[in-house]
Structure 1
Amino acid sequence: MAGDNGYPYAVPLSYVLQDGKIYFHSAKAGHKLDAIRQCAKASFCVIDQDQVVPMERTTYFRSVIAFGVIRILENTEEKRSAIEALAKKYSIEDSPESRNAAIRQEWNALCMLEMTVEHLSGKEAIELMKGSPA
């Protein structure tokens, strides 16, 4: 995202991919939301693999950068669907009742964001492309 004084702003996030969109949560105030309100365009980087291979003096890596636009979810149903997907991803062992209780407890302070991906750029080590063991 575009941050203060023209500096790029990047922040690690917990996320879920659902229906081709990336969802993540936020507090209702802060630098991230300020940046989104100033300019909704953003990039989102995910490192799928980064295996150090000392004997080859390299890494077997796979990553992708998504470029798109972020919007704050205002609709209650959209917000609920997004937080449920995120909760299921990160609390897979929890019962639905436990997840719902946690969501209810945090609901008023919760802001959910949706990134619509406009284009992707990815890269992976040649060894992975060739099917080398990783």
Structure 2
Amino acid sequence: MFREMRRKKQELSLEDSVAILNKATSGVFAVSGDNDYPYAVPLSFVYDNSRIYFHCAKNGHKLDAIARNEKVSFCVIDYDNVVPEKYTTYFRSVIVFGKARILDNHEEKMKAIEKLAAKYSPNHEEGRRREIDDQFKQLCLVEIEIERMTGKEAIELVRMKKK
């Protein structure tokens, strides 16, 4: 169903890929947009138990695209170092493929926003609670259930690890 990675030596372990998702503060969400044009947008997110959660407006391009086609992808760049003298880039990234859905169950929505808020404001529990209570009715939360996740890094980084 999903393509295998061509350069297997550069593939990151599942544990490394999950660590990157847990560390990253933004990623790029991609859908099949209007008139079959790809639509990719950067956003804040949280990873939890083979799922990615993010919040957005209650209407717009992302939600229209999800309603037409639940299949999506999401990409995070962990490391990006251009090495001009070697005509290359040392990189590390993760891409996921999955199915997106809008959370409409109150309990699911609350769990997702609490995880998201805790990631970005870990030391402000009281403030998080107030903000969630104030904004909850207006929030739209989306869940991506991950079906395939791959991480990859530059061959130069693989070689450096071996030394």
TM-score, normalising length: structure 2: 0.75
Q: What is the CA distance between 1:31 and its match in structure 2?
A: 1.0
The aligned amino acid for 1:45 is: C
**Corresponding residue number in structure 2 for 1:18:** 48
Deviates more, 1:120-129 or 1:31-40: 120-129
Percent of aligned pairs with the same amino acid = 57
Task: For 1:42-81, list aligned pairs within 5 A.
Answer: 42-81=72-111
**Distance in 1 separating the partners of 2:47 and 2:108:** 14
SS in structure 1 of the partner of residue 54 of structure 2: strand
The aligned amino acid for 2:130 is: A
SS in structure 2 of the partner of residue 71 of structure 1: strand
Deviates more, 1:51-60 or 1:25-34: 51-60
**Corresponding residue number in structure 2 for 1:129:** 158
SS in structure 1 of the partner of residue 42 of structure 2: coil
Which of residues 35, 39, 42 is equivalent to 2:65? 35
**Corresponding residue number in structure 2 for 1:89:** 119
- RMSD over equivalenced CA pairs, Å: 1.3
Moved over 4 A (4+): none
**Corresponding residue number in structure 2 for 1:114:** 143
Count of equivalent residues: 131
**Distance in 2 separating the partners of 1:103 and 1:52:** 40
The runs of 5 or more residues in structure 2 that have no matched partner are 1-30
The runs of 5 or more residues in structure 1 that have no matched partner are none
Q: What is the CA distance between 1:90 and its match in structure 2?
A: 1.1
TM-score, normalising length: structure 1: 0.91
**Distance in 2 separating the partners of 1:120 and 1:128:** 20
